[in-house]
């Protein structure tokens, strides 16, 4: 008489179930993270980046919002500035030329000291299925004092041009975690926790904070200006770049480009 092995699971099946559970645990734990920690070994810095969220007005394309900060080496340093990215993809430009102000309770923070990047992909399709996608990126640096005041506010509104975007407080939780060391460490996996939990660094002086913020903005402006004029055949464009960014890492190719243009002009 044959015995039926009802309810019994083979060793091989148990192994695959166990493997599946491990994979799903890793996937769901990574998806549930509100802040990601990434160490860039070659550049020797750590970036802490919030999980992106989106805001939208009517039928318009959504704007993706991300906040980041970085520390030298593999340390969890004291924050002195936060970089905010506003990213929008669509058929037409929207961010370009608009004012950007954050209204937090009764205070307004003018964030028009920013950099703007524009790219066009002729092959991609937008959400409406139309070929040709424009990607706009605003990069804004906010001092830690202003950022903390905004995060501690009961009401946060992003004013982009004439339009208001009321930001859900729950969505801002990841932005609060970004500057809360204990909660930030809790977002890390065990290996990262071993490295970063006791590396809180030393606060920078106010003057050093301002210098680094200005240096970061200048570096972004330098890169974006070079990307705009590197294919230009106008001598004035190259001279403008060299006059405004004399210590740029792009000075050598800019001088070679200028020399070539002047040679062709003769």
Sequence-ordered alpha helix ranges (H) in 10-143 = 11-31
CB-CB contact of 55 with 31 (8 Å): no
Going residue by residue through the chain (266 aa), what tens digit of pLDDT does each one get?
444 444 556 666 656 666 666 555 544 444 568 999 999 988 888 999 999 999 998 878 999 999 999 998 888 888 889 999 999 998 889 999 999 999 999 899 999 888 999 999 988 877 677 788 999 999 999 999 999 999 999 999 999 999 999 999 999 999 999 999 999 999 998 888 888 887 654 444 454 556 666 777 778 888 888 988 888 889 898 899 899 888 888 889 999 988 988 888 76
Strands in 25-105 per DSSP E: 35-40, 45-50, 53-55, 63-72, 81-90, 100-104
Contacts 24+ apart (CB under 8 A), 172-176: 173/34, 174/34, 174/35, 174/50, 174/51, 174/53, 174/67, 175/50, 175/67, 175/151, 176/151
């Amino acid at each position: 008489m044959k015995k039926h092995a009802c309810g019994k699971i083979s060793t091989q099946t148990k192994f695959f179930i166990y493997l599946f559970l491990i994979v799903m645990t890793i996937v769901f734990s990574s998806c549930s993270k509100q802040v990601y920690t990434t160490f860039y070994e070659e550049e020797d810095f750590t970036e802490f980046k919030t999980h992106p969220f989106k805001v939208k007005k009517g039928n318009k394309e959504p704007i993706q919002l991300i906040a980041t900060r970085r520390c030298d080496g593999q340390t969890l340093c004291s924050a002195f500035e936060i970089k905010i990215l506003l990213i929008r993809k669509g058929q037409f430009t929207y961010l370009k030329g608009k004012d950007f102000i954050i209204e937090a309770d009764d205070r307004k923070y003018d964030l028009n000291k920013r950099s703007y990047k524009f790219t066009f992909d002729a092959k991609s399709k937008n959400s409406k299925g139309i070929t040709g996608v424009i990607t706009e990126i605003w990069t804004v640096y906010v001092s830690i004092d202003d950022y903390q005041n905004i995060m501690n506010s009961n009401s946060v509104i992003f004013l982009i041009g004439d339009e208001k975007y009321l930001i859900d407080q729950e969505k801002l939780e990841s932005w609060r975690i970004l500057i809360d060391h204990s909660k930030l460490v809790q977002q890390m996996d065990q290996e990262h926790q071993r490295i970063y939990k006791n590396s809180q660094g030393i606060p920078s002086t106010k003057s050093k904070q301002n210098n680094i913020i200005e240096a970061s903005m200048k570096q972004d402006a330098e890169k974006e200006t070079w990307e705009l004029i590197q294919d230009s055949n106008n001598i004035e464009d190259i001279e403008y770049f060299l006059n405004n960014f004399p210590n740029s890492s792009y000075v050598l190719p800019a001088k070679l480009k200028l020399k070539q243009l002047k040679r062709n002009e003769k």
